[in-house]
Chain A
Amino acid sequence: MLIGKVIGTVVATEIYEGMTGVPLLLVQPLAKDGTKKGNAVVCADGTRMAGPGELVYYEGGREAAMTLNPSFVPVDHAIVGIVDGVEAADWKEGAV
């Protein structure tokens, strides 16, 4: 899992069966110090509660789809939780 910041939403009306109603969020991956790292990815929201501006942790790969029901869906990144706080020496709060 990696930490990311939700920077937007994605809406797709015409979508693979089983993915209707699943929130899609634009997530900017963060490095270990809380700065931007790489390009934003589209994540399915497994918590159904995340929103723009929030810090989240997300899973990549086959496991991402397992946050959803049905789980046999074409999803490769999914938010599994909302971060309340990070305690790490390098971490700078609000770097993005």
Chain B
Amino acid sequence: MIIGKVIGNLHSTINHPFYDGKKLLMVEKIGTNEKPISGYLVAVDHAGAGIGETVLILDEGTGARQVLESSDGPVRSVIVGIVDEISETKAP
């Protein structure tokens, strides 16, 4: 899983039927210091996240389909949690 920050919403009416009624969010990937690292992705929201929140993203197809209760949905990225805190232990 990766950590990201929600930076925007994406609206769509014409889409694959699997995406009907699914909320899509733009998420910027961030490092452990909560600073952006390269790239963003568009993920299906399954945690009720909003803009500005730090989230946990699952970027793997089989798990994503399990979360969204589908056997054949063309989905890979799904927001599965909202992060409260990240603490990194420094290497000795």
Contact = CB atoms under 8 A, between A and B. Distances in A.
Q: Specify whether A and B are partners.
A: yes
Interface residues on B, range: 20 to 34
A80 B10 contact: no
Contacts of B10: 3, 57, 83, 85-87
Contacts of B15: 47, 80-82
Overall SS of chain B's interface:
strand
A96 B91 CA distance: 44
Contacts of A27: none
B14 A1 contact: no
B7 A67 contact: no
A2 B77 CA distance: 10
Interface string B5-47: 0011111111110110000101010000000000011110000
B76 A1 contact: yes
A87 B42 contact: no
Given A3-B42, A32-B26, A61-B61, A80 B9 contact: no
A67 B9 CA distance: 22
B75 interface: yes
Nearest 10 CB-CB pairs, A to B?
Answer: A88-B8, A81-B15, A1-B42, A66-B74, A81-B12, A32-B40, A87-B9, A82-B14, A67-B74, A84-B11
Interface of A: 1-3, 31-32, 46-47, 49-50, 57, 59-67, 71, 78, 80-91
